[in-house]
Structure 1
Amino acid sequence: MDKLKINIVIAGRTYPLSVRNTQEEEGMRKAANAINNLISRYEQNYAVSDKQDVLAMCALQFASKLEISSLAKSSENTEAINKIKELTNLVNTHLK
């Protein structure tokens, strides 16, 4: 399958990319849009003159959201496993 060639603009710079399909293209464009919106908010709310600083702040925010989400899922999985163990123990107790 041929890859699609697209251009993504982040912080005023154009980045040529290759994507596998239109769904991946849409994801890339939405991600770039979210980054650009966050850049605008940081520039409006903070006295940041260097784009690199703003991009670093954006990267930190997006990465921390992923990590927090991962930690929450891990916690949910642990809770589910514990509940399954409790139920298994109850069933085993009643079968004896």
Structure 2
Amino acid sequence: MSQKDEQLKIKLSIADRVYPLTVAYSQEEGLRSASKKIDLMIHQFEENYAVRDKQDVLAMCALQFASQNEQKTIDTTDSYNKAVERLIRLDEALDRVLSKKI
């Protein structure tokens, strides 16, 4: 079995709770990084908004991550649409130039 296919047993701590997981080797780094980001965000929410209920803090973290993901999707879609529009204008300009030479 290759290292990529290997399953690892890890423990992640989120909001002062430990979660044992069995994950693919390739997922470990991403999960550990996400766990750290969640804990950092929890700390920031608790300090800046005086929220003490972990469920409320976790809900705000989930909303923050989801909105960041949605914004990336929107930005990517906008960039894609702008690129397509530029390619269409370029294609039209090339057609005009090529049609004049014939």
- With the length of structure 1 as denominator, give the TM-score of the two structures: 0.93
Once residues 90 and 2 of structure 1 are traced to their aligned partners in structure 2, the CA distance between those partners, rounded to angstroms, is 53
Among 15, 20, 24, the alignment partner of 1:20 is 24
Aligned residue pairs total: 95
Displaced runs of 4 or more, over 4 A: none
Corresponding residue number in structure 2 for 1:4: 8
Once residues 60 and 48 of structure 1 are traced to their aligned partners in structure 2, the CA distance between those partners, rounded to angstroms, is 15
Structure 1 residue 17: deviation in Å? Answer: 1.4
Compare CA radii of gyration and give the structure with the larger one. 2
Q: Does 1:93 align with 2:93?
A: no
Corresponding residue number in structure 2 for 1:40: 43
Once residues 59 and 28 of structure 1 are traced to their aligned partners in structure 2, the CA distance between those partners, rounded to angstroms, is 15
Using the aligned pairs only, state the percent identity.
43
The Cα offsets for residues 31-88 of structure 1, whole Å up to 9 and x where unpaired, read as: 0000001101111111212100000000000110111111011100000000000000
> SS state of the match for residue 14, structure 1?
strand
Structure 1: stretches of 5+ with no match in the other structure: none
- With the length of structure 2 as denominator, give the TM-score of the two structures: 0.87
Structure 2: stretches of 5+ with no match in the other structure: none
Among 63, 67, 72, the alignment partner of 1:69 is 72
